[in-house]
């Protein structure tokens, strides 16, 4: 991978000699991809996808599922993923034109400005590089996707004038990692996104830290469930609609939530999230599940443990975020390597593929909303397309 700062090189020199690395890991770390990057955003591949109806929960889910399974079985490629993505972009632009965009408010009120934005992002990038190296070492199938990666030295890809580095990879074999985006926008953002393929029910992970106004940290961490649990219908008090509202579907959704909680949302993991939040200095919560202001696409993709907070930029807060992101990546890797989370062959894998196809188009819409609000319409669209990766992987546990 390409490293854009001396600090990262120093960190790698100090830490990596003590870590046994595979040849592939060394390749991932040392290769600069000098001739492998393109400056454009790859067009979305056609896919059989439909948007989940957020306001109505999953009332139409069975019909959508049946239609998509039939389409996949028949080899259909309509409607196109790029068509759905285009609708989301049009909606985003209409909203942007109708509203006056205001900068993210600062939360600094404690005089904690003891680190600048460039130093903070450099530290977060170095830490993330080590986490990705650890993942690559443990998952030998993980392979670089040069056509979806961006190198500051050759791509010319910038956000608000800041160089973008995006190292994309996947593992189309047994590890079944559909998409890994190791993203850094200089002095602005460090983000790690991993989408799993349909061979397991391991949660997707989104770990993102953005600096706004040169003084505010915006931290988002989420393990996103692989099945629908009606999380978007949860109210602000954490309650879910019951059989009187959803009928028998309430039991189905409750079962999905219990399955997720028993495997991934355990007491230890919940305690980990609570511990992170308790350590921050001056943090405030951003809108979460149950808040009507949350974007519809975010509602149907966000997990029940999601942490979304803003706080003053300080060395202490950066250090807490750094450690939390490393721990979260380690948890994801532990789950990914646990064969007990694998689906049995057949219908479960096909159903997971159909759900994941729905998820990825909605995840793109959610990310588009986040990035447009942070970076403006044009830059937001470019970054959302790059960071989301292919909206559909044309395989069910095979190759991409």
Q: Provide the whole-model pTM.
A: 0.76
Burial grade of 204 (CB within 10 A; 0-12, 13-18, 19 or more): buried
Higher pLDDT: 330 or 175? It is 330
Q: Average of pLDDT values for 253-257? A: 96
Higher per-residue confidence, 316 vs 102: 316
Question: Mean pLDDT across the chain, nearest whole number?
Answer: 79
- In this prediction, residue 106 has a pLDDT band, given cuts at 50, 70 and 90, of very low
Q: Is the peptide bond before 169 cis (omega within 30 degrees of 0)?
A: no
Cα–Cα distance measured from residue 313 to residue 316, given in angstroms and rounded to the nearest whole number: 9
Average of per-residue pLDDT across 220-230: 96
If pLDDT is split at 50, 70 and 90, which confidence band does 316 have? very high
pLDDT of 385 > 80? The answer is yes
| 315 vs 9: CA distance, rounded Å | 21
- Residue in this structure with the two tokens 């000098």, named with its chain if needed: 34
- Is the pLDDT at 294 greater than 70? The verdict is yes
Give pLDDT, residue 91. Answer: 67
pLDDT of 88 reads 67
pLDDT of the residue at 11 = 39
Neighbouring residues of 289: CB distance < 8 A, sequence distance ≥ 6: 231, 232, 234, 299, 302, 304, 306
Q: For residues 328 and 276, what is the distance between their CA atoms, to the nearest angstrom?
A: 11
Greater confidence (216 vs 396) lies with 216
Is residue 139 scored above 70 in pLDDT? yes
pLDDT of residue 177: 96
Mean pLDDT of 24-47: 30
The predicted pLDDT at position 12 comes to: 39
Q: Residue 173: what pLDDT?
A: 80
């Amino acid at each position: 991978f390409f490293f854009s700062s001396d600090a990262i090189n120093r960190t790698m020199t100090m830490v990596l000699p003590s870590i046994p690395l595979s040849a592939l890991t060394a390749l991932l770390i040392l290769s600069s991809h000098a001739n492998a990057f393109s400056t454009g955003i790859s067009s979305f591949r056609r896919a059989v996808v439909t948007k989940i109806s957020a306001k109505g929960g999953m009332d139409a889910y069975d019909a959508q599922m049946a239609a998509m399974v039939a389409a996949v079985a028949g080899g259909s490629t309509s409607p196109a993923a790029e068509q759905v993505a285009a609708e989301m972009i049009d909606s985003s632009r209409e909203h942007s034109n109708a509203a006056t965009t205001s900068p993210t408010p600062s939360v600094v009120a404690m005089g904690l400005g003891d680190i600048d934005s460039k130093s903070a992002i450099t530290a977060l990038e170095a830490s993330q590089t080590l986490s990705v190296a650890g993942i690559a070492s443990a998952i030998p199938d993980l392979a670089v996707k040069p056509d979806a990666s961006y190198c500051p030295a050759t791509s010319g890809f910038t956000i608000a004038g800041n160089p973008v580095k995006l190292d994309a990879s996947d593992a189309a074999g047994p590890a079944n990692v559909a998409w890994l985006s190791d993203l850094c926008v200089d002095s602005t953002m460090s983000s790690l996104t991993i989408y799993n393929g349909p061979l397991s029910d391991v949660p997707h992970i989104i770990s993102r830290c953005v600096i706004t106004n040169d003084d505010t940290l915006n931290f988002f961490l989420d393990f996103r469930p692989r099945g629908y649990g009606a999380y978007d219908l949860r109210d602000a008090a954490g309650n879910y609609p019951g059989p009187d509202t959803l009928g028998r579907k309430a039991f189905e959704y409750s079962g999905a939530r219990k399955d997720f909680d028993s495997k991934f949302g355990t007491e230890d993991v919940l305690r980990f999230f609570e511990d992170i939040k308790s350590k921050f200095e001056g943090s405030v919560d951003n809108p979460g599940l149950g808040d009507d202001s949350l974007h519809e696409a975010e509602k149907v993709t966000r997990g029940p443990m999601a942490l979304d907070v803003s706080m003053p930029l300080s060395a202490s807060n950066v250090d807490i975020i750094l450690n939390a992101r490393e721990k979260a990546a380690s948890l994801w890797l532990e789950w990914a390597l646990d064969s007990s989370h694998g689906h049995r062959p057949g219908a479960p894998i096909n159903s997971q593929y159909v759900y994941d196809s729905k998820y990825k188009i909605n995840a793109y819409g959610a990310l588009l909303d986040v990035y447009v609000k942070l970076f403006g319409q044009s830059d937001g669209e470019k970054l959302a397309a790059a960071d989301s990766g292919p909206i559909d992987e044309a395989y069910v546990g095979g190759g991409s």
